Amino acid sequence: MLSQIKHYIFDMDGVLWHGDTALPNLPELFETLRRLQIPHVFATNNASKTPDEYVAKFGRMGVPIHPHQVMTSALATAHHLARNHDPNNTKIYMIGKIGLRQALENKGFHVLDRADYKTPAQIVVVGFNQSSIYEDFACATIHIRQHGAKFVGCNPDVTFPSERGLVPGNGSQLALITAATDQEPEIIGKPYPTMFYTALDMLGPQASGNNTLMVGDRLNTDIAGAATADIKTLLVLSGITQPADLAASSLQPDIVMANITELLQKIKALHNL
């Protein structure tokens, strides 16, 4: 199947790195793709960073990329909300970091701070933030319960791969607010197809589901979402989904590999490098 692949979409956390630790052969993989002139983009459910911050992170790991190669769930969420709400007349309370705030503000939304909890927000948006505190969730609950705000989550990932192992992810934050408000969030990021269609657009008019491969580490988001968008899938076992999870699942990827090192080896063999 790899011989049919002309474009790649990569998840990041658990696929390319754990936290700030690059997985083996990361620079060589992307140097090989550049050498072969194979277009590739990055689609992550992590809403905490801006595209420029991802460019800097890749740079520290020896991989030069451009901001236009990065699609985050924050960007997808801001785009979705701006398409369905008038930013000039919509106040948003958010839990998240600079990646989400910048995405929302660049679309023209007014983002409320904690101190503005008495000012009704029309939407509460929740993105991953390791520094969230109780007051963040209290304000979100007030806006949803008392002000009738719409509840939106950037992604449903309940865990996040770090150097220490799995830690709570954005889905865990959403679960806390759901428990406090009795409201389920609208989810924008993977596994919903919006991000995958956007990634295909980023790759250009020659990209299609048949010649593009989504490389991810989560069955329930990366693989499920790409399959819904009719994109070919590769599951790497370096992140969330492990062999026992795969064996127990009715959802199966097109390809399974241990990690990006195995992918690199297969690409080099295919192209006689």
pLDDT tens-digit series, residues 196-255: 988 998 999 999 999 999 999 999 999 999 999 999 999 999 999 999 999 999 999 999
In whole angstroms, give the CA distance from residue 141 to residue 144. Answer: 5
In the chain, count of helices (H) and strands (E)? 10, 15
- pLDDT tens per residue, range 88-131: 999 999 999 999 999 999 999 999 998 888 899 999 999 999 99
In a shared domain, residues 183 and 263:
no
To which residue do tokens 């990634």 refer?
199
In a shared domain, residues 199 and 266:
yes
What total number of domains does the chain contain?
2
Of 140, 157, 187, the residue that ends a domain is 187
Domain hosting residue 22, numbered range: 2-45+190-270
In whole angstroms, give the CA distance from residue 95 to residue 137. Answer: 8
In a shared domain, residues 83 and 172:
yes
In a shared domain, residues 39 and 93:
no
Report the SS3 class of residue 253. Answer: coil
C-alpha closest to that of 189 among 45, 15, 42, 41: 45
In a shared domain, residues 22 and 116:
no
Does residue 250 fall inside a structural domain? yes
In whole angstroms, give the CA distance from residue 185 to residue 126. Answer: 9
To which residue do tokens 């460019």 refer?
55
In whole angstroms, give the CA distance from residue 187 to residue 159. Answer: 16
For the chain, state the CA radius of gyration: 19
- pLDDT tens per residue, range 17-61: 998 999 999 999 999 999 999 999 999 988 988 999 999 999 999
Of 168, 187, 206, the residue that ends a domain is 187
- Distances in whole angstroms, Cα of residue 235 to Cα of each of 32, 208, 252: 20, 19, 9
Average pLDDT over residues 188-196: 88
To which residue do tokens 């194979």 refer?
38
C-alpha closest to that of 72 among 6, 150, 128, 134: 128
In a shared domain, residues 79 and 183:
yes
Does residue 61 fall inside a structural domain? no
In whole angstroms, give the CA distance from residue 125 to residue 74. Answer: 9
To which residue do tokens 């599951």 refer?
235
Name the token pair of 24: 């083996």
Does residue 248 fall inside a structural domain? yes
To which residue do tokens 């197809």 refer?
193
**161 pLDDT above the threshold of 80:** no
Q: Angle at Cα 45 formed by Cα 42 and Cα 50, nearest 5°?
A: 65
Query: How far does the chain reach from its first CA to its final CA, in angstroms?
Result: 18
Of 187, 203, 238, the residue that ends a domain is 187
Pairing mode, strands 232-236 and 7-10:
unpaired
Q: What DSSP letter does each residue of 122-167 carry, written as one string?
A: SEEEE---TT--HHHHHHHHHHHHHH--EEEES---SEEEETTEEE
Q: Would you please indicate which residues are annotated as catalytic (active-site) residues?
A: 11, 13
In whole angstroms, give the CA distance from residue 215 to residue 116. Answer: 41
At 160 the pLDDT is 82
C-alpha closest to that of 253 among 223, 273, 218: 223
Average pLDDT over residues 156-175: 89
In a shared domain, residues 183 and 194:
no
Does residue 213 fall inside a structural domain? yes
